Every structure is written in structure tokens, then in C-alpha cells.
Amino acid sequence: MKGKFLFLFLLVFMFIISGCGTKESAIADKKSQQNNTASSAFETVPDGFRVVTVGSGNPKTEVGRGAPSTLVQYNNKFFLVDSGENTTSTLLKIGLPAEKITNMLFTHQHVDHNGGFWNFFIDGWQGPTGRRSLNLVGPQVQELYDTTVNFFKSDLEYRSSLGWPKDGIFTNVNIKDFTENQYKFELDGVKITSIPVPHTVPTYAYRFDAKGQSVVVSGDLIYSDKFAKFAKNTDILVIDGMLASDFSFVPEQARENLKNGLKQSHATIEDLAKMAAESKAKKLVLTHIGLGKVDIPSISKVFSDAGYKGKIIAAEDGLVINP
């Protein structure tokens, strides 16, 4: 009798261990799949556009969120919009070295949008496989380039003496410095349109069009009826979602003052919903996330009430979005 009880006890014990191991293995597999999502995306070339939110954060440094940076891919060509802190390391982490990117566009020159430029610019050039050309586009990019090259002149000359060509750093850098109200040009088979949007410094939104598909990246902005028309019927709209956060990381007594102050330079949820509805964008990606969490169900109701019928996505670093 004792032998039967002992056998049953051992059988149950082995079953529990086996079940736990299976559960742990399944969790590990799931995590592995999640971690490989972005890097595996670059193993294939899309037939059209692909968007990656490289950095999804805000001016305040956070663990787990880099500063604003959005990658637009069309076939095997790449367009990096803004280069906040951690951009280059995140790109490498998700499987795309900076040297592969020859189109660098800026929405505006705030430190959270350009703080990673020096590293992107120099690291992507140096080495035997570094980039040998660069298109630099946006407001104040001539000044940004001149300041960078002048400040790091000795450093860059030293690195060049190691055998790296000057193309892509001193020469073969094509600069399009924005000073007008609207721009239309073409890069790597993609038609790019840019218009100014209301913010605290000269700021531009970008629209990428090719073969019936489109992507729009807003930059930082408050409500603008012109922007909704600019983003009309786009497949993917990546927009400033600073005020979509609940700011739960900010002390409660300071929370409302901060949010009220930010309304002078960033669109409210209601204004975002209105622009989304007016644009009829198919997918809306909220990036430039403020401190805290984004409650998509609550936000979705505001957007739905405004008449928006598309999909709403809260950005994360390395998140891949396809049309």
C-alpha cells in the first residue's frame, strides 16, 4: 500500500515539474520572439514602406525609451527622421547599423531630436564599410553640420588618417536646409513633401509617397488644420503623442501644471483625435511619449468620438509598423 502511495506521489511530482518546465519554456520562447521582432524585420526587404519607431520617448531621459527617432524604410532604402539620444545604439540592436542609412532628415533642432546626431554621423561613416555619402535635410541642418565638423575637426582628420575616405563626412554630404514654407523633392525613388507645423522653433512634418503608399511623420506640433490635409488618407501617421501619456511618473502636485504648460507646444488628446479623424489615416502611431503610460482604451474612445476609424498604436523603441 505504501509503495502505491509513493509511486503516485512521484508521478504527480514529475508531472508538476514537467508542466512548470513547459510553461517556463513557453514564456522564454515568447520573450525571444518579442526581442527578435525588430531585428528579424530587416532580414527581408518590404515591397513598399515599413516604419520603425527607433526612439519613442521625450526630452526627459528614461530607462526603456530612447529620445525621438523614426525610421522610414522603402524597399531597401532608409530615411531616418530625427536622431535623439540612443538612436545609433538602438539601430544596431535591432539589426540596422547606422552606416546603412544615407538619408538623415530633421523635423526640428531640439536636443531630444538631435542629441544622437554626432554619434550617428561619425559612427556611421568610420570604418571600412562606413557610409560614403549622406543627404542631410531639414531646418538648420547647415548650421548643425558646420558646428559638428568644426568642433570635431581634429578628431575627424585623425580618423580619416586611419584610411577612411573623406566622402560621407567632409565631402559628398548633400545639404538641404529648410527656410521656405513648403518643399517637394525626391530621394531614392520616394517623393517627399514637407510643410511647417506649429511648435516653439521652426518645425517641419514629412510625407513620403511611393507606388500608392504613404507615410507621414509629424514632428512636434499643436493643432493645425493644414496638417490634417497634409496627412490625408496616409497609410501610417506617426504623430507627436506627448500629451497622450498619463504622466504617472510625475509627482501629482506638479502633474497638471506640467501638462498645462506642454499644451503650448504639444497637441492635446482631443486635438490629436481631431487631426486623425480629419486626415483619415489608416494607422496612427503615438510617439514622443510623455512620462508614464498610454491608456489606449481610454484614448480610443476620444478618437472614436471624434470620428476616427483607424488603428491606434502606442510606440515603443524598435516597434515595427507595416501598412
Task: Give all domains of the chain, ordered by start, each with its CATH number.
Answer: 48-112+181-321 (3.60.15.10)
Rounded CA gap, 211 and 235, in Å?
12
Backbone φ, ψ for residue 188 (5° rounding): 50, 45
Residuewise pLDDT in 10s, the chain (323 residues) = 445 444 444 443 343 333 444 333 333 333 333 334 566 779 899 999 999 999 999 999 988 899 999 999 999 999 999 999 999 999 999 999 999 999 999 999 999 999 999 999 999 999 999 999 999 999 999 999 999 999 999 999 999 999 999 999 999 999 999 999 999 999 999 999 999 999 999 999 999 999 999 999 999 999 999 999 999 999 999 999 999 998 888 888 888 888 899 999 999 999 999 999 999 999 999 999 998 889 999 999 999 999 999 999 999 999 999 99
Positive or negative torsion for Cα 93, 68, 268, 238: negative
Rounded CA gap, 123 and 145, in Å?
15
SS3 assignment, position 213 = strand
Q: Which pLDDT value is given to residue 37?
A: 53
Q: What one-character DSSP code corresponds to residue 291?
A: S
Residue pair 278/233 in contact (Cβ under 8 Å)? The answer is no
Helices (H) and strands (E) in the chain, counts: 10, 14
Q: Which residues pair with 228 in a beta bridge?
A: none
168-184: string of b/e by CB count within 10 Å (b at 16+)?
Answer: bbeeebeebebeeeebe
C-alpha cell at 34: 518579442
User: Is the overall model pTM greater than 0.85, yes or no?
Assistant: yes
Rounded CA gap, 219 and 323, in Å?
20
Q: Which residues pair with 178 in a beta bridge?
A: 139
